[in-house]
Structure 1
């Protein structure tokens, strides 16, 4: 009887590990796929000089984002969830084009973008590797990161009115730290079974990577931008 129980426990543990690896694999595959509509959206935005100023931009961004979050969450168990996710990343690419256009005004704009992309990739692969290899549970970070993200969002909204350059740089620097830590947290959630849906997992990691890239690009433009 004891042997049968041990065998059943072993089989259950093995099946659980297979399921988690499947979620992680599907997440990485879909994450790679999201880069296609993001790139297309960014190229379209740059070519058409897409730029929104004032309150129109933030309101549009928040409206589309929260609507997309709700719709993706409701359809995450179906193929429609994947379609909506890819459509949203296309919008995010269009939104990203505004930052890219600012960077391209610098003499070394292309280099700044490439450096931000390389830095983001290095951060992602390093932290994702740590979470995957060590299998350590980083769920204890969740509450602290959420509070930090809320404070960061409030500071960003306040800075729309204040427009303080030093605060802008501080927000970007803190954002790099918070969303880098979120990469570690989100991958750990998949590895340890806290996240079992690859569509939701992909959305979370996509937003982590997106915010790290934009924040790094802002910092590079401020400190290394060649204004000619």
Structure 2
């Protein structure tokens, strides 16, 4: 009997990629628990940070967490650091949730943003998984767009122009929706082989899609009566 090593190697590679994708989805789902806990805690404590110090704190915790996750991504410690980071992100999220809850239709808008985020994620993840198309060509353009929108967002913290806030939220929604396609495609095609790193990337995509959707809904449909 002839043993085809090329076929066997291809099958093993496919199994490994499916394992990474499965573990990523599981850890992503798990990361929503500390996020929800952090958000509820922040709402209960009425957590709020000033623009200047809050921005420094956020970037300090975020980049410190990214560094530690990267250093420990091959160990169980990486999972716990990731979950700790998502708890912090939930606490940070509570600030915009508190703003939304001041509207009479706040709970409805939060629910709509969550449903919309889930719909975007599952639709784009399915496209990347089923087609197996390589979307790596999008990486450079998405990164440049992300840097520009971060700078615009920081500037608008101080200028607080409503039209600019809406435009930034729309652009963020588009960029991070495309990042979902890009990041799932990297897992499917073997560009990302560590499920902890993959989870961090997808978590940030989902988080930003949700926040931008909620911002758009508040600006367009928020009712204060």
In the superposition, the TM-score normalised over structure 1's length comes to: 0.97
1:17 counterpart = 2:14 = yes
Cα-to-partner distance string for 1:118-172 (whole Å, 9 max, x where unaligned)? 0000000000000000000000000000000000011111112221111111110
Q: For residues 11 and 99 of structure 1, what CA distance do their matches in structure 2 show? A: 50
Equivalent in the alignment of 1:216: 213
Equivalent in the alignment of 2:197: 200
1:71 counterpart = 2:68 = yes
2:139 to 136, 139, 142: 142
Q: For residues 110 and 121 of structure 1, what CA distance do their matches in structure 2 show? A: 17
CA RMSD between the two structures: 1.0
Q: For residues 70 and 162 of structure 2, what CA distance do their matches in structure 1 show? A: 36
SS in 2 for 1:55: helix
Q: How does 1:18-33 map to 2 (within 5 A)?
A: 18-33=15-30
Equivalent in the alignment of 1:173: 170
Q: For residues 214 and 206 of structure 1, what CA distance do their matches in structure 2 show? A: 12
SS in 2 for 1:52: coil
Q: Note the residue ranges of structure 1 that are not aligned, 5 or more in a row.
A: none
Q: For residues 208 and 178 of structure 2, what CA distance do their matches in structure 1 show? A: 12
Cα-to-partner distance string for 1:40-92 (whole Å, 9 max, x where unaligned)? 00000000000112301111100000000000000000000000000000000
Question: Which piece of structure 1 moves more, 149-158 or 119-128?
Answer: 149-158
Q: How does 1:124-163 map to 2 (within 5 A)?
A: 124-163=121-160
1:164 counterpart = 2:155 = no
How many residue pairs get matched?
225
Equivalent in the alignment of 1:225: 222
Q: For residues 155 and 48 of structure 2, what CA distance do their matches in structure 1 show? A: 21
Q: How does 1:74-113 map to 2 (within 5 A)?
A: 74-113=71-110
Q: For residues 175 and 11 of structure 1, what CA distance do their matches in structure 2 show? A: 42
Q: Note the residue ranges of structure 2 that are not aligned, 5 or more in a row.
A: none
Equivalent in the alignment of 1:52: 49
- 4+ long deviations beyond 3 Å: none
Equivalent in the alignment of 2:35: 38
Q: For residues 53 and 119 of structure 1, what CA distance do their matches in structure 2 show? A: 29
